């Protein structure tokens, strides 16, 4: 896993932003929202709330520095002993990454917080041809049974098999190796086995916890007579992103997911993992899944954040797409608690018309009341405050990992071109979030260090990486 050199730079600028107000019932909020004698205008007194919000959500440099340093400290503590910190620092058993020279057909199954995707990846040098079958996971399956969920996941493979037969005449019983991207905390015991630690992202299927998720998938495939598929790699979405991005760029050092949820993984030296010293590992490098969504040290929490039941996933709920809309909805009285609302936040924040027509239309749709221009301006400021805070905290987390890697191996990051691979709908679809994140990274690193860091988005890297790792793992197994 050698890492190359050159230098590169990215441009950015800088910025900054929990408050305490008494909770009010939804009925009271609705009454407040329609206080007007002759019209349905929304006339809540929001100025003091907004002032407090902007003050308490501030992310000045000292706070970001504390978050970054604490992230690095928690990483070391988690590497020292299992349960040593809020970060699980899970060994992935991925000890080799794509070289960029891979060619052929590769397959992946990818389950995230919102969608389940089946991918057929054809590689020829740097040319990538992807056939993707994507289906939204029904809400009832997120709280149903393990058999129901994995049956739904496996059923997408039949569609792919039939498509290949009709399109290319590929026989349905042809053997296929598949990489399984499973975007939830898993304790792995090998590259193709791992037990579920806990569900996140509003999944709650009790009979899966403690079970081998690959075995659950294999059982579902047997039920559907999908014996032509063999699961040879189990990876987290961040690990898949790192592998997929590394195929395109050999300077990728770690990967971040910023979508419905968030997580990060990175390349670590085996000798820097004290909890493995007695296990006889000799591989020089491996991939560590941080599970950074559970990080909580020094975060600027508000009463509104606490109201979203932060629990064990504090960092994730402050920076990821699933919860930005939820937090804003609590501030703006009542807005749809849906990850789809993140797109609407973006639309409102980008509205540059004099009368904020888009903002008014969206607020009218969700509040069912007319809004004044002043209220629309206030809404945009609330959105900007929460989005800026989340993006800047994500940036601080990225710097924490960069600095941990540099401190343990001087010159690894800041002496050469270092690429941070990012994938996920939030980062991809929200330009302002991306801008605030980049600004925070540059602000924390300073121009001298920042010149070596490239923050780059790699679309669909997670699925491509899982497919590649399935092939790599199969080759390693067959030659060992």
**Residues noted as catalytic:** 117, 183, 237
Tokens 């960029």, residue located = 100
Query: What whole-number distance in Å separates Cα of residue 146 and Cα of residue 152?
Result: 10
Tokens 């690193």, residue located = 445
The helix-helix angle for 431-450 and 341-350 (nearest 10°) equals 80
The token pair that represents 197 in the structure block:
């630690």
DSSP code for 139: G
DSSP code for 142: G
Query: What whole-number distance in Å separates Cα of residue 284 and Cα of residue 96?
Result: 10
Helices of type H across 57-140:
61-80
DSSP code for 60: -
Tokens 């050469």, residue located = 416
Query: What whole-number distance in Å separates Cα of residue 136 and Cα of residue 285?
Result: 36
Residues 162 and 179 sit within 8 Å (Cβ to Cβ): no
The token pair that represents 6 in the structure block:
């050159």
Tokens 């002496």, residue located = 415
User: Longest C-alpha distance within the chain, in Å?
Assistant: 80
Helices of type H across 25-180:
26-33, 47-56, 61-80, 146-168
Q: How far is CA 123 from the centre of its chain?
A: 25
The token pair that represents 418 in the structure block:
């270092």
Query: What whole-number distance in Å separates Cα of residue 188 and Cα of residue 236?
Result: 10
């Amino acid at each position: 896993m050698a890492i190359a050199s050159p230098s590169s730079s990215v441009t950015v600028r800088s910025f900054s932003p929990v408050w305490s107000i008494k909770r009010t019932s939804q009925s009271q909020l609705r009454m407040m929202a329609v206080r007007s004698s002759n019209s349905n205008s929304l006339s809540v007194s929001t100025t003091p709330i907004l002032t407090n919000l902007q003050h308490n959500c501030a992310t000045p440099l000292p706070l970001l520095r504390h978050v970054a340093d604490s992230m690095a400290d928690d990483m070391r503590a988690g590497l020292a002993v299992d349960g040593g910190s809020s970060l699980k620092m899970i060994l992935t058993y991925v000890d080799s990454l794509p070289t960029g020279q891979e060619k052929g057909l590769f397959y992946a199954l990818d389950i995230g917080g919102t969608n389940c995707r089946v991918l057929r990846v054809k590689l020829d040098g740097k040319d990538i041809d992807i056939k993707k079958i994507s289906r939204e996971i029904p809400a009832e399956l997120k709280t149903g049974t393990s058999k129901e969920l994995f049956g739904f996941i496996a059923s997408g493979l039949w569609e792919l098999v039939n498509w290949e037969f009709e399109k290319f005449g590929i026989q349905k019983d042809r053997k296929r190796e598949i990489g399984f991207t499973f975007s939830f905390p898993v304790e792995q015991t090998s590259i193709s086995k791992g037990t579920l630690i806990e569900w996140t992202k509003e999944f709650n299927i009790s009979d899966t916890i403690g079970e081998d998720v690959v075995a659950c998938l294999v059982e579902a495939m047997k039920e559907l007579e999908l014996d032509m598929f063999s699961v040879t790699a189990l990876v987290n979405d961040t690990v898949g992103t790192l592998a997929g991005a590394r195929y395109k760029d050999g300077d990728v050092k770690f990967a971040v997911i910023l979508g419905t949820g968030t997580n990060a993984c990175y390349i670590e030296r085996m000798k820097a993992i004290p909890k493995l010293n007695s296990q006889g590992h000799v591989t020089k490098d491996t991939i560590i899944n941080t599970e950074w969504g559970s990080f909580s040290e020094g975060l600027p929490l508000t009463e509104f954040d606490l109201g979203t039941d932060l629990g064990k996933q504090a960092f994730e709920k402050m920076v990821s797409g699933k919860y930005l809309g939820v937090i804003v909805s609590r501030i703006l009285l009542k807005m749809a608690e849906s990850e789809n609302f993140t797109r609407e936040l973006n639309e409102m924040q980008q509205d540059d018309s004099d009368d904020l027509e888009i903002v008014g239309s969206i607020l009218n749709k969700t509040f069912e009341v007319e809004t004044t221009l002043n209220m629309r301006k206030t809404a945009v400021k609330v959105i900007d405050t929460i989005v800026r805070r989340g993006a800047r905290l994500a940036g601080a987390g990225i710097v924490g990992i960069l600095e941990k890697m540099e401190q343990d191996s001087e010159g690894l990051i800041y002496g050469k071109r270092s690429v941070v691979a990012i994938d996920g709908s939030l980062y991809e679809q929200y330009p302002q979030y991306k801008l605030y994140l980049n600004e925070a990274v540059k602000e924390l690193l300073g121009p001298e260090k920042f010149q070596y860091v490239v923050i780059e988005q790699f679309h669909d890297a997670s699925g491509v990486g899982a497919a590649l790792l399935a092939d790599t793992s199969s080759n390693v197994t067959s030659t060992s």
